[in-house]
């Protein structure tokens, strides 16, 4: 029995870690801007494509940091172009802008790649096959949860201990008052996108190492699931997003294991609706009356 469950558990934890890394981007942006950044899943996919191209032309120790930096640049650029001009606009307009941005990024990727699936480069060491308790998997499956936890701890330290972290907390608590206290809101928001996109880039490296190919629309589904994870954990809460990511990843993996692959996506959204109906603030969310 245990031998049967183990592969699914490992797979689930690994996917969950990847969801968690994406979910942090959603939850941080939502925490400050109250905006579902629909383009986040596409930024994640762009990171995948960047890696495909970068790995073809340069050694890995160059391409990995380069990809992370370019993804961060893209995230900040998206914020500057699509969200900053609408800072005072109604929330619906910003959300529509986010959807438009997602549409643009998808079409752009389609154009650049000709719509073909690209082979993702195998990253050495983390892509190696290893055997755990009689079950063969790639090393990335084992590394993902640890890497996720390490990154999250670093992030929480950043938010709790540094000045920019304090500014972020202040901005997410109260937009206007934070500005009155001399916090430069635009730079805080840009920094949020830096962190979110950087983690999405790392997440994409781990995710695509397991999936082998990248297509322009492949990021939409993990993106939405990561958002569900963020809502599940309580939007705005980073530990919540991580736990939500792991729970969704594990559940999904078991559903696939039980032979109901078509329903693994449906389950995620059913979970979302149940959570929203029963406890809209999520597991660790703050009680904000305006939310629901």
Binding site for another protein (CB under 8 A): 34-36, 81-82, 85-86, 89, 91-93, 95-97, 99-104, 106-108, 110-111, 114-115, 217, 220, 224, 227-228, 231, 262-263, 265-266, 268-270, 272-273, 276-277, 280, 291-292
Comparing CB distances to another protein, the nearer of 103 and 146 is 103
Q: What is the spatial distance between Cα 66 and Cα 80, in angstroms, rounded to a whole number?
A: 21
In angstroms, what is the minimal distance from the CB of 102 to another protein? 7
CB of 118 to another protein, least distance (A): 14
CA distance 34 to 68: 25
User: How many angstroms separate the CA atoms of 71 and 105, rounded?
Assistant: 13
Going through the chain in order, the beta strands assigned E by DSSP cover 118-119, 129-132, 135-138, 213-214
Q: Which is nearer to another protein, 82 or 206 (CB)?
A: 82
Residue recorded with tokens 């995230």: 75
Residue of 25, 114, 120, 20 lying closest to 78 (CA atoms): 25
Least distance CB 224 / another protein (angstroms): 7
- Residue among 88 and 131 whose Cβ is closer to another protein: 88
- 68 or 82: whose CB is closer to another protein? 82
Q: How far apart are CA 186 and CA 193, in angstroms?
A: 11
- How far apart are the C-alpha atoms of 232 and 285, rounded to whole Å? 9
Min dist CB 183 to another protein, Å, is 20
- Closer residue to another protein in complex, CB, 89/157: 89
| H-assigned helices in 85-174 | 91-113, 139-161, 163-173
Q: Are 245 and 226 in contact (CB under 8 A)?
A: yes
Least separation in angstroms between CB 1 and another protein: 27
Tokens of 266: 């449906």
* CB closer to another protein out of 209 and 264: 264
Closer to another protein by Cβ: residue 136 or 287: 287
Structure tokens at 57: 């032309």
Phi, psi of 179, rounded to the nearest 5 degrees: -65, -40
Other CB atoms closer than 10 Å to residue 166's CB: what's the count? Answer: 13
CB of 149 to another protein, least distance (A): 27
Minimum Å gap between C-beta 249 and another protein is: 17
């Amino acid at each position: 029995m245990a031998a049967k469950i183990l592969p699914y558990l490992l797979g689930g934890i690994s996917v969950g870690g990847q969801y968690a890394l994406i979910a942090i981007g959603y939850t941080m942006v939502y925490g400050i801007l109250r905006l579902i950044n629909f383009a986040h899943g596409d930024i994640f996919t762009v990171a995948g494509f960047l890696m495909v191209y970068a790995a073809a032309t340069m050694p890995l120790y160059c391409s990995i940091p380069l990809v992370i930096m370019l993804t961060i640049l893209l995230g900040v650029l998206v914020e500057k172009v699509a969200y900053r001009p609408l800072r005072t606009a109604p929330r619906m307009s910003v959300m529509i802008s986010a959807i438009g941005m997602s549409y643009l990024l998808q079409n752009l990727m389609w154009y650049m790649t000709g719509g073909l699936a690209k082979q993702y480069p195998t990253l050495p060491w983390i892509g190696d096959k290893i055997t755990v308790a009689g079950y063969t998997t790639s090393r990335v499956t084992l590394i993902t949860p640890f890497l996720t936890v390490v990154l999250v701890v670093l992030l929480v330290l950043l938010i709790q201990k540094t000045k920019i972290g304090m500014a972020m907390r202040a901005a997410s608590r109260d937009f206007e008052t934070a500005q009155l206290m001399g916090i430069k809101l635009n730079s805080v928001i840009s920094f949020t996108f830096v962190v979110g996109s950087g983690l999405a880039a790392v997440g994409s490296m781990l995710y695509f190492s397991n999936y082998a190919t990248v297509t322009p629309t492949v990021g939409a589904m993990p993106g939405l699931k990561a958002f569900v994870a963020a809502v599940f954990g309580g939007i705005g809460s980073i530990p919540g997003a991580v736990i939500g990511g792991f729970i969704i990843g594990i559940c999904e993996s078991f559903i696939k294991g039980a032979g109901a692959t078509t329903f693994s996506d449906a389950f995620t959204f059913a979970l979302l609706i149940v959570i929203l109906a029963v406890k809209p603030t999520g597991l660790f969310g703050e009680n904000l009356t305006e939310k629901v």
